[in-house]
């Protein structure tokens, strides 16, 4: 049972434009959400996180939005750069209970120069 879903396996965006990556979750106990970026032959790298007490967190070109009522979060990258081309994984955890992350299946972002 996939508790974190990324329904778009791939996304292509022109350099300089906005990239929007989406993620849905089903478990209402999740209260901490993260985005990881993964290049080929490397492990995932932490990008940005958000706690359920917030609805937005910004770090430079990266902003994560959380809509708890819809159980949906999104990652906005603006402006997109060719170096952003990678697979992006959404992950979630519950601060109570098991301390593990539930990952989505990833979205491959290609930024076209």
How far, in Å, CA of 5 to CA of 103, rounded?
A: 8
Task: Report the site for other proteins in 54-83 (rule: CB under 8 A).
Answer: none
- The least CB distance from residue 99 to other proteins, in Å, is 4
Is 2 a residue that touches other proteins (CB under 8 A)?
yes
Stretch touching other proteins by CB under 8 A, among 10-18, 56-64, 68-76, 92-100: 92-100
Q: Which residues contact 9 (CB under 8 A, 6 or more apart)?
A: 105, 106, 107, 108
- The least CB distance from residue 15 to other proteins, in Å, is 27
Q: Which is nearer to other proteins, 38 or 79 (CB)?
A: 38
Q: Which residues contact 53 (CB under 8 A, 6 or more apart)?
A: none
| Bridge partners of residue 46, in order along the sequence | 36
Reported as half-sphere exposure (CB side, CA atoms, 13 A), residue 90 has a value of 29
Is 40 a residue that touches other proteins (CB under 8 A)?
no
Stretch touching other proteins by CB under 8 A, among 1-9, 54-62, 63-71, 72-80: 1-9
């Amino acid at each position: 049972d996939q508790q974190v879903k990324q329904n778009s396996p791939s996304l292509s965006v022109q350099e300089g434009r906005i990239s929007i990556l989406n993620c849905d979750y089903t478990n209402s106990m999740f209260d901490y959400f993260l985005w990881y970026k993964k290049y080929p032959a490397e492990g995932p790298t932490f990008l940005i996180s958000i706690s359920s007490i917030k609805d937005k967190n910004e770090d430079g070109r990266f902003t994560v939005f959380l809509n708890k009522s819809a159980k949906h979060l999104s990652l906005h990258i603006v402006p997109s750069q060719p170096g952003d081309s990678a697979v992006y994984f959404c992950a979630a955890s519950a601060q109570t209970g098991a301390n593990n992350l539930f990952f989505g299946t990833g979205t491959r972002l290609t930024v076209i120069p």
